[in-house]
Amino acid sequence: MRRDRYTCAMCRSRRRARELEVDHIVEIARGGAALEYSNLQTVCRSCHRSKTRAFLASVDRRAGRAQAESP
């Protein structure tokens, strides 16, 4: 988070550390390195949630299942 100056890599908003999360740029399921520093980025919770939903929906489409829906 310090490396990214407490700024979300997606929406570019500055946040407090407790409002940020670490995200894999390339998902592990798509071959991304789990602990490779260069595959990690700082994101806010909202952007992380959106990115994860989009990824899950794409996985569901490829598998021939209905898209993931938010609760």
Q: What is the DSSP string of 4-71?
A: TTTB-TTT--B--GGGEEEEESS-GGGT--SS-GGGEEEEEHHHHHHHHHHHHHHHHHHTTPPPP---
- Assess if residue 53 is contained within a domain: yes
User: What token pair was written down for 62?
Assistant: 């490829």
- Assess if residue 8 is contained within a domain: no
- Assess if residue 27 is contained within a domain: yes
Residue type, 67: Q
- Assess if residue 52 is contained within a domain: yes
The reported pTM is 0.74
- Assess if residue 70 is contained within a domain: no
Q: Going from the first residue of the chain to its last (71 residues), give the mean pLDDT of each consecutive group of 10, the final group possibly shorter.
A: 94 96 93 94 97 87 55 44
Q: What is the pLDDT of residue 7?
A: 97
- Assess if residue 22 is contained within a domain: yes
Gap between the Cα atoms of 14 and 8, Å rounded: 6
Domain count, the chain: 1
Which range marks the domain in which residue 47 is found?
A: 17-62
Gap between the Cα atoms of 45 and 8, Å rounded: 9
- Assess if residue 25 is contained within a domain: yes
